[in-house]
Structure 1
Amino acid sequence: MPAPAPESHTVRVSLVILAVIAAGAALYWLRGILTPLALAVFLAVMIDGFARVLRSRLPVISEKAALALAIVLSVVLFGVSGLVIADNASTFVGQLVAYTPRLNNLIAQVAGLFGVEVPPTVSDLFAQLNVSAYLGDFAKGLQGFASDAFFILIYLGFIIASRSGFQRKVVGLFPHQAERKEALAAFRRIRDGVERYLWVQTVTGLMIAVASWIAMVAIGLDNAVFWAFLIFIASYIPVIGGAVGILAPPIFALIQFETFWPAVILLGVLQAIQFVVGNIILPRMQGDSLNMDPVVVLLSLAFWGMIWGMTGMFLSTPLTVMAMVILAQFDGSRWLAVLLSADGQPEKLRDHAAGSPDEPPKPAPRSSPSRKREPKD
């Protein structure tokens, strides 16, 4: 019987492309189920990294105590963040009502630039809009957010509770030690890449938020704490977050102040802050840790934003790092990982995660078929 013909490279590439399209369609159709799960996994990775940092700084505490302390501190931080947003958001809405005359004047100036003789007022604009429909959509959005938050917490609890069985599952899935080492190395690459991204974005986001807060306080902008907090949260979204941090406070400054100069000065200062942190500090901190092409960052932002909305934008970079690591494990899909990487070497993230920047971990030899051995834990 003649041997089957070897599978051609074109067939393999075509199968990979079809698989990516099918996976994208499945992610879009199941977004209602998968987005809370993805956020829960994201939070679990963050809490696990936080626990390991606490364990390294406080060697006297046990692993379970460090995990419990990380969960408590994370809940406290998220609770404080929610209170800050709720308190400042109500003050912000009240000030917008007080600035209605100034806003009418600003609309008249802008309309005059375009030759509009009778400019509309804020009341006219609200009258033309279907406010009840927008309020209904907003209420549905809040209801959906509350429902998603509930499911995220449930998923997070189960993920944390199932951590103890992860090693046994790996042993069951990969009985040979060499395969197990390779799977664990891939998991560490994903985990370390996400944690490194979180650390860099958090530190640089704090730098931008604090510097922006000082600039806003210096010119007397109202709700400087609220805007600084918004800039910090937006820093986790590539490209769009920086645009929000640069444009939103100056637009409000146009409403608050009688002249354009405070808004112009604030716009220039915020642009300078974003430029220094984004082009000098961020590359030095990040280095080649993520090893992702900048064009891929933009494309992943658009792709995940189209599939999962704001959640996808927030998780676009970690999800793409995970995809690059997984695709690099197989010969048929490695070319996709090469395209996603910055230098054509998707294994670089693996080498950093393994602890040796030059030499990847060497797998242990397989056991002989004639001598069966029990898998080591």
Structure 2
Amino acid sequence: MEIKLPAYFKYTVIILGILLLIWLMQMFKSVLVPLSFAMLFALLLLPVIRDMETKLKLPRPLAILISIVLIILVLGMVIWFLSIQLLSLTSELDTIGSNIGDLVDKVQQFLYRKFGIMPSGKSELVRNAVGGLQDIATTFLGNTISVTTGAIAAFTLVPIFVFCLLYYRDHLQQFMFQFVAKDRRSSMMQTVENIQSVVQSYISGLMIVIVIVSLLNAAGLLLLGVKYAIFFGIFASILTIIPYIGILIGALLPALFTLATTGHLIDAVLVVGVFMFVQFLEGNFITPLIVGSKVSLNPFAAIVALLVGGEIWGAAGMILSIPFIAMLKVIFDSYEPLKPIGFLLADIDEIALKRHGKVTSWFQEIWNGLGRGKKNKDNGKENL
């Protein structure tokens, strides 16, 4: 006899299950975070390794090792460059501290002349506190090294996990088949291929966007004469992997640095203007043309996923939140009872695509309008 449970009891069990899952994710963070990054890299490298195995006739272990070594070399060069620039930047902390102290004096004098606000007498205190940034930076650097050591120890697991996931991929596929009936295995493989396509499109497109945005940021800062323009340009572009928030941090640091080194507010405003313009280009032209509609999440879902990922796994969770919520959306869309959740996460452009068979952004509409205008103009000339 089938026992029917009340709806409130089922929903309570679901909520408790989600809370238990979040607790387990936090408890086993040291293992799950490297494993999650390894899954993304494995999905990204899978087509390359398949081509090496089929076209170049390389053994699977050798193809995997070559791919991993190339990734490590590229990331190592980027980290080395940023480290050299950061060490050079810290050598100017004394000068920056002195400039900030002078800037505080100017602000207090302006407030006294315009509004009669007497200086608080804290100018020298601020000067001394900021002048001691070198000692603070040294202490912070020491603490950062200790924390980074643990992070490096954790991320050394990523190449190992990537190798295992790629080497045993056939075995993992057979493992998943053990839980699915034979008549449903084709649909399961289609879902897996969709997930792979989403992850590959997101990560590869993101890498291209980072390169383009870093070039635009650095070019704009070089035109303004900002010191360490290449460093700030690359640093801000890398932060774009954290949606919405990363670009704010990336623009704030060079703006404060410029204000501290030049003492002119207009220079800092111009730096912020450069990043706002590049962000406008990235959000409306670069990312839509490169990434396309593969990762089609609405901004509200992306922001919620970003905050939840940050609460669970910190910065790593913020980075992983968007690709993982996109993967979950693919699963929701393929499972009938969960399709409403997939609909909730979907972007309105994707909904329009399914309903009307086409999707156009405002940029595409303007572009199409210009094309139609040119065509009508040409037709008018022909009629004349």
The TM-score with structure 2 as length reference comes to: 0.77
* Alpha-carbon spacing, 1:246–1:117, altered in 2? closer, same or farther (3 Å): same
Report if aligned partners of 1:190, 1:322 keep a CA contact under 8 Å in 2: yes
Aligned pair 1:150/2:148, yes or no?
no
Identify the residue that residue 2 of structure 2 maps to in structure 1: 4
Could you tell me which runs of 5 or more consecutive residues in structure 2 were left unpaired when the two chains were aligned. 112-116, 355-384
Between the aligned partners of 1:102 and 1:217, the Cα distance in structure 2 is 21
When the two chains are superposed, the root-mean-square deviation of aligned CA atoms in Å is 3.3
Match of 2:34 among 33, 36, 47: 36
Q: Specify which of 116, 120, 125 is matched with residue 117 of structure 1.
A: 120
1:161 aligns with one of 141, 157, 167: 167
Percent of pairs with identical residues: 19
| CA displacement 1:54-111 (0-9 Å, x = unmatched) | 659x945547465444223212101111211211111111122333321222333455
Give the distance between the partners of 2:327 and 2:316, measured in 1 at CA.
Answer: 16
How far is the alpha carbon of 1:38 from its aligned partner? 1.3
**Equivalent residue, structure 1, for 2:323:** 318
1:244 aligned residue: 249
Does residue 47 in structure 1 map to residue 42 in structure 2? Answer: no
Instruction: Please say if 1:90 is aligned against 2:87.
Output: yes
- CA distance, structure 1, for counterparts of residue 151 and residue 110 of structure 2: 40
Output one character per residue of 1:131-168: Cα deviation in whole Å (capped at 9) or x when no partner.
Answer: 59756643431232122122333323332332342333
**1-structure distance, mates of 2:132, 2:19:** 44
Q: Is contact 2:34-2:155 (8 Å) kept?
A: yes
The answer to whether the aligner puts 1:73 opposite 2:58 as a matched pair is no
Change (3 A) 1:66 1:167: same
Judging by fraction of residues, say which structure has more helix. Answer: 2
1:93/1:333 Cα in 2 relative to 1: closer, same or farther (>3 Å)? same
SS of structure 2 residue aligned to 1:121: helix
SS class of match (1:226) = helix
Measured in 1, the distance between the counterparts of 2:63 and 2:350 equals: 36
* Counterpart Cα distance in 2 of 1:161 and 1:49: 13
Aligned residues: 343
Choose from 15, 18, 22 the match for 2:16: 18
The question of whether the paired residues in 2 share the 8 Å contact of 1:13 and 1:332 is answered with no
Equivalent residues in 2 for 1:170-209, closer than 5 Å: 170-174=176-180, 176=182, 178-209=183-214
What does 1:366-377 align with in structure 2 at a 5 Å threshold?
Answer: none
Give the TM-score of the pair, scaled to structure 1. 0.79
Tell me if the contact between 1:301 and 1:317 (Cα under 8 Å) persists in the aligned partners. yes
User: How far off is 1:234 after superposition?
Assistant: 0.4
Deviation of 1:337 (Å): 2.7
| Aligned-partner residue type, residue 276 of structure 1 | L
User: Are the aligned partners of 1:16 and 1:333 in contact in 2 as well (CA < 8 Å)?
Assistant: no
Q: CA deviation at 1:236?
A: 0.8
CA distance in 2, matches of 1:300, 1:79: 29
User: What is the DSSP-based 3-state SS (H/G/I as helix, E as strand, rest coil) of the residue aligned with 2:74?
Assistant: helix
- Map 1:295-314 onto structure 2 (within 5 A): 295-314=300-319
Structure possessing the higher relative contact order (Cα contacts under 8 Å, 6 or more residues apart): 1
Measured after TM superposition, the shift of residue 306 of structure 1 is 0.5
Secondary structure of the residue aligned to 1:99 is helix
Q: List alignment gaps of at least 5 residues for structure 1.
A: 350-377
Q: Equivalents in 1 of 2:146, 2:108: separation in Å?
A: 34
SS in 2 for 1:288: coil
